[in-house]
Structure 1
Amino acid sequence: MSDTSQVRRQFGDGPLSRAAARIHILLVVELLLLLTTLPGLVPLVLLGRDASNLPLVAACLLPVGPAVSAALYALRHQRPELTDLRPAAVFWRGYRTNLPGVLRIWVPALLWLTVIAVSLAHRVAAAVPSWWVAPLVLVGVGVTLGAANALVITSLFAFRTRDVLRLALHFLVRAPGVTVGTAALLAAAAGITAVGSDAVLAMLGSVLVLALLRTAEPMVDTIRKDFTA
């Protein structure tokens, strides 16, 4: 029995085995991301790129928050060893555990961004002064970056919602590297959507989530060190 265990450990510890395990994890997480976002992804792809569809776009994006949260959880907690691969089980555990907390953050963030986007798209009809454009854009960027931080935090830690929001806003300033990295990642995602389509972005979902996780590592490590027992 010990010889068998030793062989399994050696089989799962080599560089090729680890690389294969990571690819397997990314593929499984990608499939589960597509599955859990499918109810919103299908109508989102079919919607025309018109400002009048902005509220519908927000509704289609509702499943994205819980799905990304579960993917963050799975990629963080799954060990990359061929002898112990359970990315699907870890994904669903993260989905169930994080769903209430994620929705308390994701839904208000989408509402804020929808109001800002609609106000900018229909500025004349909404009687929004031209000098309000820059502040509204800055608020939108702040909400987006804060929501990204909050999504990472609530996916990996068991804090109250108000504490998650405080930490998310706190690290926008305290961790400028994380903020800039997240902004660059979101800009890349927007560029992919603009050049390609929402479907192309969805197909790269697990890679983008992994990039978000790697970008947020300094924040995650600081929270673990300073704010958890």
Structure 2
Amino acid sequence: MPGALGQGTLGRATALVYWYVVVTALLALAALPTLALLLLLDRTASNVPLAALAALPLGPALSAALYAVRARESDDEVAPARTFVRGYRRGALDALRVWAPALGVLAVVGVVLANASAAGVGPTYAAVLVVIAVLALVWGLHAVAIATLFSFRTRDVARLAAHYLGRMPLVSLGVVSLLVAAAGVAWFATDGVLALVGGVWVWCWYRNDRRMLDDVRARFTTV
């Protein structure tokens, strides 16, 4: 009967909401160390290195959520919890290998900017450092996406992520927009509010990166 759970528009909508609620909850759970530490840190420039360190668990968590979102695109009957856990087991280490360097760059930039006056860093140099930090984060998210959905060596993932920074600028700008949105929510609300929309954010990330991922599949894999 149309409208019954599992059938018709209402059933599909209910299943979709349930699916994303579960994935969002699991994403928040996997990123709990990050959320807890960020809530404890003051929002000052001097804490940027600590924030970068706290964000290490976020890479594998995002990877698992992306894996789950991608799986649902192929089959809307997949179980969200089982798929998320499978994605975490398969991709956590690969994601961490590319996520950690991006956070390392962010930490170094944060230290320099936090001590800009003492180090004599001018506004122009500071702006360049901010651009470098943003590029590192975009590269990191590109790399996590590629590492999650493909079985490449880490150095090849790093090269591909760098390649697509310039090859597909609209995709990279889309990631920048997502980062700005996430930072805005975290700054003006709380990190907890950001966690509540984590599943939707990952879906937007996947939709934004799909063109890049399709290109990787077409050019660098064999069917």
Asked whether the two chains share a fold, i.e. TM above 0.5, the reply is yes
Find the aligned partners of 1:210 and 1:151 in 2 and give their Cα distance. 14
- Measured after TM superposition, the shift of residue 80 of structure 1 is 5.4
> 8 Å contact 1:62–1:107 — kept in the other structure?
yes
Q: Which residue of 2 aligns with 1:225?
A: 218
CA distance in 1, matches of 2:208, 2:134: 17
> Would you say 1:103 and 2:117 are equivalent positions?
no
- Contact 1:171 1:219 survives alignment (8 Å): yes
Q: Which runs of 5+ in 1 are unaligned?
A: 1-6
Q: Residue in 2 aligned with 1:16?
A: 10
Q: Distance in 1 between matches of 2:179 and 2:57?
A: 18
Pairwise CA distance, 1:167: 1.0
CA distance in structure 1 between the partners assigned to 2:7 and 2:143 by the alignment? 34
- Structure 2 counterpart of 1:87, from 76, 80, 83: 80
**Quick one: which amino acid aligns to residue 57 of structure 1?**
A
Matches within 5 A, 1:21-40: 21-40=15-34
Aligned residue in 1 for 2:187: 194
Cα–Cα, structure 1 residues 221 and 189, in superposed 2: closer, same or farther, change >3 Å?
A: same
Residue 74 (str. 1) matches residue 92 (str. 2): no
Q: Is the 8 A contact 1:120 1:133 kept in 2?
A: yes
Q: TM-score, normalised by structure 1?
A: 0.88
SS at match of 2:119: coil
CA distance in 2, matches of 1:125, 1:77: 50
Gaps of at least 5 residues in structure 2 are none
Three-state SS of the structure 1 residue aligned to 2:121 is coil
Tell me whether 1:160 sits opposite 2:150 in the alignment: no
Read off the aligned partner of 1:31 and give its amino acid letter. A
Number of residues paired by the alignment?
Answer: 219
Asked if structure 1 preserves the Cα contact closer than 8 Å seen for 2:46 and 2:110, the reply is no
Aligned 8 A contact 1:25 1:75 in 2: no
CA contact (8 A) 2:49 2:110 kept: no
3-state DSSP of counterpart to 2:179: helix
Identity of aligned residues (%): 45
Letter aligned with residue 187 of structure 1: V
Give the superposed CA RMSD. Answer: 2.0
TM-score norm. by structure 2 comes to 0.91
How far apart, in 1, do the equivalents of 2:18 and 2:26 lie?
12
* Larger mean Cα displacement after TM superposition, 66-75 or 190-199: 190-199
Q: Which residue of 2 aligns with 1:4?
A: none
CA distance in 2: counterparts of 1:162 and 1:222, whole angstroms: 18
